[in-house]
């Protein structure tokens, strides 16, 4: 992992404090940060991202001790999950404190909170706290509906000069967004599968969280189409993928492939990425791989359907949304 000089953290904290936007690395994906106590800065962040108002954004905290400033009620389940997984890739949706800005919560009575583990994110949050602000509102650092950014170059490709500073922390460790659990009722609900597996949540909660249905609170990552390349993308079963290329060295259309178990056929000259076999490594590389395939400007992207099984729930969720046709 890259390290960032303390002067760079200082500059980033000063910029945030002055209302500017700063992109920063987290262990999941890069975030596009604004001071969560500054409504104008948060509005600017929505504008730059192209995100419709009314979509709530996660507030990142330096430490779990800050929770009572943001949540008016911290249930025993929330305490237990925070204790087990923070700092780390888990977002808790809790009843909001009255002081939380409406632009942050999308006007809902709840707020999403996360204590990131990445040392650069942590140092930035600690320094901003010294300056008097106790949270960074940050969605993933990509334009609305597009592929999340897992390195500083991806962020620059998305936003160019529209943001004041990008802190470069190298490639994200998990490569896939945080797991989101809604704890605003007695019955925990999984809003987004992510870097923390459901099985790990079950061990702490005593039972697995219920899976969100369409009526669960608004979350843009729960829209059918999201994390999407510009090129039309589709999932294709391993057998079908083998069959499609068995007779032709090159299919009629220009296809860019994200394979996993299927080997590149001899004579295939298009783009063929062989993704890692294990779900954690697959997730880590996923968005960079999708960006590489998208940049090819092929007619279609074909993605080998990943295996079934609990390890693959978060990856399958992202691939389903990346391949959903509008
Ligand atoms: O790993 C992550 O969570 C990354 C890093 C930067 O922390 N952030 C991220 O943010 O993925 P974003 O905005 O791209 O996705 C967060 C999701 C959105 O779908 C948002 O609607 C949902 O969390 N969310 C935030 N606050 C919420 C709330 N109060 N109720 C329901 N959903 C909420
Ligand atoms: Mg996002």
Residues 180-208 have pLDDT tens digits of 999 999 999 999 999 999 999 999 999 99
| Residue 249 binned pLDDT confidence (cut-offs 50, 70, 90) | low
Mean per-residue pLDDT, 123-132: 98
Tell me how far the alpha carbon of residue 214 lies from the centroid of ligand 2, in angstroms.
Answer: 18
Tell me how far the alpha carbon of residue 135 lies from the centroid of ligand 1, in angstroms.
Answer: 14
Q: Is the pLDDT reported for residue 219 higher than 60?
A: no
Q: Is the pLDDT reported for residue 28 higher than 90?
A: yes
Question: Whose atoms come closest to the Cα of 144: which ligand?
Answer: 2
Question: Whose atoms come closest to the Cα of 192: which ligand?
Answer: 1
Which atom of ligand 1 is found nearest the CA of 174? Answer: 1
Question: Whose atoms come closest to the Cα of 106: which ligand?
Answer: 1
Q: Could you report the per-residue pLDDT of 66-92, keeping only the tens digit for each?
A: 999 999 999 999 999 999 999 999 999
Q: Could you report the per-residue pLDDT of 268-313, keeping only the tens digit for each?
A: 888 999 999 999 999 999 999 999 999 999 999 999 999 999 999 9
Ligand 1, pocket-test mutation among 48, 124, 139, most atoms within 8 A of CB: 139
The residues, any chain, with a CB within 8 Å of residue 91's CB and separated by 6 or more, are 58, 112, 113, 114, 178, 179, 180, 181, 192
Tell me how far the alpha carbon of residue 78 lies from the centroid of ligand 2, in angstroms.
Answer: 23
Per-residue burial over 29-58, b = 16 or more CB atoms within 10 Å of its CB, e = otherwise: bbbbbbbbbbeebbebbbebbebeeebbbb
Phi, psi of 236 (to 5 degrees): -140, 130
Which atom of ligand 1 is found nearest the CA of 91? Answer: 3
Per-residue burial over 244-258, b = 16 or more CB atoms within 10 Å of its CB, e = otherwise: bbeeeeebeeebbbb
pLDDT at 247: 66
Tell me how far the alpha carbon of residue 243 lies from the centroid of ligand 2, in angstroms.
Answer: 35
CA 239 to the chain's CA centroid: 31
For residue 285 the two structure tokens come to 């590389």
Which atom of ligand 1 is found nearest the CA of 195? Answer: 1
Which atom of ligand 1 is found nearest the CA of 30? Answer: 6
Nearest to 194 by CA among 57, 92, 323: 92
pLDDT at 88: 98
**Cis ω before 87 (30° cut-off from 0):** yes
CA 216 to the chain's CA centroid: 19
Percent of the chain with pLDDT over 70: 94
C-alpha–C-alpha distance, residues 235 and 40, integer Å: 41
Which amino acid residue places its CA nearest to atom 20 of ligand 1? 219
Which amino acid residue places its CA nearest to atom 6 of ligand 1? 31
The residues, any chain, with a CB within 8 Å of residue 106's CB and separated by 6 or more, are 53, 54, 55, 56, 57, 218
Could you tell me the strand order of the sheet in which 136-137 lies? 165-166, 22-24, 31-35, 136-137, 59-60, 110-114, 90-95, 179-182, 189-192, 210-211
Q: Is the pLDDT reported for residue 214 higher than 60?
A: no
Radius of gyration, CA atoms only, the chain: 20
Q: How many residues are present in the chain? A: 326
Q: Could you report the per-residue pLDDT of 110-119, keeping only the tens digit for each?
A: 999 999 999 9
Owner of token pair 């609900």: 189
CB 26 within 8 A of CB 171: no
Which amino acid residue places its CA nearest to atom 12 of ligand 1? 139
Tell me how far the alpha carbon of residue 153 lies from the centroid of ligand 1, in angstroms.
Answer: 22
| Residue 251 binned pLDDT confidence (cut-offs 50, 70, 90) | low
Which atom of ligand 1 is found nearest the CA of 216? Answer: 31
Ligand 1, pocket-test mutation among 58, 150, 195, most atoms within 8 A of CB: 58
Question: Whose atoms come closest to the Cα of 194: which ligand?
Answer: 1
Longest alpha-carbon distance in the chain: 65
Owner of token pair 């597009």: 146
In 3-state terms, what secondary structure has residue 179? strand
| Residue 216 binned pLDDT confidence (cut-offs 50, 70, 90) | low
Q: Which residues, judged by CB distance below 6 Å to any ligand atom, belong to the binding site of ligand 1?
A: 26, 28-29, 31, 55-58, 89, 91, 93, 105, 108, 110-112, 114, 138-140, 177-178, 180, 191, 217-221
Q: Indicate if the alpha-carbon torsion angle 93, 97, 103, 104 is positive or negative.
A: negative
| Residue 248 binned pLDDT confidence (cut-offs 50, 70, 90) | low
Phi, psi of 141 (to 5 degrees): -85, 65
Do the bridges between strand 31-35 and strand 90-95 make them parallel or antiparallel, or are there none, so unpaired?
unpaired
């Amino acid at each position: 992992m890259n390290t960032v000089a303390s002067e760079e953290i200082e500059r980033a904290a000063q910029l945030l404090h002055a209302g500017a936007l700063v992109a920063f690395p987290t262990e999941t994906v890069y975030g596009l940060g604004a001071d969560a106590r500054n409504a104008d800065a948060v509005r600017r962040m929505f504008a730059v991202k192209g995100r419709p108002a009314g979509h709530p954004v996660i507030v990142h905290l330096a430490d779990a001790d800050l929770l009572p400033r943001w949540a008016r009620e911290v249930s025993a389940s929330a305490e237990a999950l925070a204790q087990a997984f923070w700092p780390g890739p888990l977002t808790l949706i809790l009843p909001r404190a009255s002081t939380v800005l409406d632009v942050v919560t999308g006007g809902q009575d709840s707020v999403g909170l996360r204590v990131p583990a990445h040392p650069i994110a942590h140092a930035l949050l600690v320094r901003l706290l010294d300056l008097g602000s106790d949270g960074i509102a940050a969605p993933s650092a990509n334009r609305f509906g597009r592929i999340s950014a897992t390195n500083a170059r991806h962020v620059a490709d998305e936003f160019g000069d529209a943001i004041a500073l990008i802190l470069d922390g190298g490639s994200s460790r998990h490569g896939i967004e945080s797991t989101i659990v809604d704890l605003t009722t007695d019955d925990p609900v999984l809003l987004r599968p992510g870097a923390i597996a459901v099985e790990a949540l079950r061990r702490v909660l005593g039972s697995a969280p219920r899976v969100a249905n369409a009526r669960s609170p608004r979350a843009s990552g729960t829209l059918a189409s999201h994390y999407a390349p510009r090129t039309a993308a589709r999932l294709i079963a391993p057998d079908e993928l083998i069959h499609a290329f068995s007779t032709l060295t090159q299919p009629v259309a220009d296809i860019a492939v994200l394979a996993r178990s299927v080997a590149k056929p001899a004579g295939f000259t298009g783009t063929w990425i062989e993704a890692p076999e294990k779900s954690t490594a697959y997730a880590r590389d996923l968005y960079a791989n999708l960006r590489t395939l998208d940049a090819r400007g092929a007619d279609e992207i074909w993605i080998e359907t990943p295996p079934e099984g609990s390890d693959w729930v978060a990856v399958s969720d992202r691939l389903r949304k990346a391949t959903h046709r509008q």
